[in-house]
Chain A
Amino acid sequence: MKKDLSIYIHIPFCVKKCGYCDFLSKSGSEEEQERYVRTLLQKMERTREAAGQYRVHTIFFGGGTPSILPAPLMDKLMDKLFDLYEVESDAEITIEANPGTLNPEKLSAYRNMGINRLSIGLQSTKDEELKLLGRIHTYEEFLENYEQARKAGFENINIDLMSGLPGQSPDSWKQTLKKTAALHPQHISAYGLMIEEETPFYLLYKEDVARRDRGEDPGQLPSEEAERQMYYDTAAILDEFGYRRYEISNYARPGYECRHNITYWKRGDYLGYGLGAASLMENQRFTVTKDMQTYLTKKYVYEDLVTLTAADQMEEFMFLGLRMMEGISLGEFHDQFHRSFWDIYASVFRKLEDQGLLIREKNRIFLSDKGIDVSNYVMASFLF
Chain B
Amino acid sequence: MSHIDQSKIRNFCIIAHIDHGKSTLADRIIEMTGLLTSREMQAQVLDNMELERERGITIKAQAVRTIYKAKDGEEYIFNLIDTPGHVDFNYEVSRSLAACDGAILVVDAAQGIEAQTLANVYLALDHDLDVMPVINKIDLPSAEPQRVIEEIEDVIGIEAQEAPLISAKDGTNVEEVLEQIVQKIPAPAGDPEAPLQALIFDSLYDSYKGVIVFCRIKEGTVRKGTPIRMMATGAEAEVVELGYFGAGQFIPCEELSAGMVGYITASLKNVKDTRVGDTITNAQQPCEHPLPGYKKVNPMVYCGMYPADGAKYPDLRDALEKLQLNDASLQFEPETSVALGFGFRCGFLGLLHLEIIQERLEREYNLDLVTTAPGVIYKIYKTNGEVVELTNPSNMPDPSEIEYMEEPMVSAEVMVTTEFIGAIMDLCQERRGQYLGMEYIEETRAVLKYDLPLNEIIYDFFDALKSRSRGYASFDYEMKGYERSELVKLDILINREEVDALSFIVHAGTAYERGRRMCEKLKEEIPRQLFEIPIQAAIGSKIIARETVKAMRKDVLAKCYGGDITRKKKLLEKQKEGKKRMRQVGNVEIPQKAFMSVLKLDDK
Contacts and interface: CB of A to CB of B under 8 A. Distances in A.
Report which residue of B549, B556, B557, B569 has the largest number of chain A beta carbons within 10 angstroms of its beta carbon.
B556
Contacts of B566: 278, 285, 287, 304, 306
A191 B554 contact: no
B562 A277 contact: yes
A344 interface: no
Interface in A222-264: 224, 227-228, 231, 248-249, 263-264
Contacts of A170: none
A375 interface: yes
B563 A376 contact: no
A117 B579 CA distance: 42
A215 interface: yes
Contact of B562 (A8, A192, A215): A8
Interface of A: 8, 10, 23, 62, 191-192, 194, 213-215, 224, 227-228, 231, 248-249, 263-264, 270, 272, 276-280, 285, 287, 304, 306, 315-316, 319-320, 323, 355, 357, 372-377, 379-381, 383
B524 to A, nearest CB: 8
A301 to B, nearest CB: 16
Nearest to B566: A285
Contacts of B528: 213-215
Interface string B540-570: 0000000001101111111111111110110
Contacts of A62: 561-562
A23 B552 contact: no
Contacts of A215: 528, 549-550
Nearest to A212: B554
B562 A285 contact: no
A287 B554 CA distance: 30
Interface in B512-560: 524, 528, 530, 549-550, 552-560
Contact of A228 (B530, B554, B563, B564): B554
Which 5 A-B pairs give the minimum distances between C-beta atoms? A215-B550, A380-B575, A192-B558, A191-B558, A376-B555
Contacts of B552: 374, 377
Contacts of B572: 319, 376, 379-380, 383
B530 A377 contact: yes
B39 interface: no
A319 B552 CA distance: 20
A377 B553 CA distance: 11
Contact of B557 (A228, A276, A375): A375
A50 B565 CA distance: 23
B569 A315 contact: yes
A264 B563 contact: yes
A275 B528 CA distance: 38
A349 B541 CA distance: 38
Contact of A376 (B550, B559, B564, B575): B575
B71 interface: no
A263 B562 CA distance: 11
Contacts of A377: 530, 552, 555, 575
20 contacts: A8-B562, A10-B562, A23-B562, A62-B561, A191-B558, A194-B558, A224-B553, A248-B556, A264-B560, A277-B563, A280-B565, A323-B560, A372-B556, A374-B555, A375-B556, A376-B555, A377-B530, A377-B555, A377-B575, A379-B572
A272 B563 contact: yes
A213 B573 CA distance: 19
B604 interface: no
Interface in B563-604: 563-566, 568-569, 571-573, 575-576, 579
Contacts of B554: 224, 227-228, 231, 373-374
B563 A8 contact: yes
A319 B576 CA distance: 13
B232 to A, nearest CB: 56
A280 B528 CA distance: 35
A213 B554 CA distance: 9
A356 B562 CA distance: 31
A270 B557 CA distance: 22
A287 B530 contact: no
Contacts of A315: 569
Contact of B565 (A231, A276, A285): A285
A214 B525 CA distance: 10
Contacts of A357: 530
A295 B558 CA distance: 29
A113 B600 CA distance: 66
Report which residue of A8, A191, A319 has the largest number of chain B beta carbons within 10 angstroms of its beta carbon.
A319
Nearest to B554: A373
Contact of B563 (A191, A214, A270, A306): A270
Contacts of A194: 557-559
Nearest to A63: B562
Contacts of B573: 380, 383
Nearest to A189: B559
Contacts of B568: 319
Given A215-B550, A380-B575, A375 B563 contact: no
A336 B171 CA distance: 73
Nearest to B571: A376
A272 B566 CA distance: 14
Nearest to A381: B576
Given A228-B554, A278-B564, A315-B569, 7 more contacts: A192-B558, A214-B524, A277-B562, A278-B565, A278-B566, A373-B555, A379-B572
Contact of A380 (B550, B564, B565, B576): B576
A213 B523 CA distance: 12
A280 B553 contact: no
A277 B556 CA distance: 24
Contacts of A320: 565
A210 B556 CA distance: 16
Contacts of A214: 524, 528
A8 to B, nearest CB: 6
B563 to A, nearest CB: 5
Contacts of B559: 191, 194, 249
A287 B576 CA distance: 24
B497 to A, nearest CB: 19
A322 B151 CA distance: 74
Contacts of B549: 215
Contacts of A249: 558-559
Contacts of A285: 565-566
A229 to B, nearest CB: 11
Nearest to B549: A215
Nearest to A274: B562
A43 to B, nearest CB: 17
B563 A374 contact: no
B565 A279 contact: no
A277 to B, nearest CB: 7
A285 B567 CA distance: 12
Contact of A264 (B557, B565, B571): B565
Nearest to A190: B558
Nearest to A263: B563
A280 to B, nearest CB: 7
A157 B530 CA distance: 38
B530 to A, nearest CB: 6
Report which residue of A224, A270, A276, A377 has the largest number of chain B beta carbons within 10 angstroms of its beta carbon.
A377
Nearest to A163: B558
Given A319-B568, A319-B572, A377-B530, A279 B558 contact: no
B315 to A, nearest CB: 24
Nearest to B550: A215
A248 B558 contact: yes
B374 to A, nearest CB: 29
A4 to B, nearest CB: 15
Interface string B159-196: 00000000000000000000000000000000000000
A375 B555 contact: yes
Nearest to B575: A380
A8 B560 CA distance: 14
A376 B572 CA distance: 7
A89 to B, nearest CB: 24
Contacts of A277: 562-563
Nearest to A267: B565
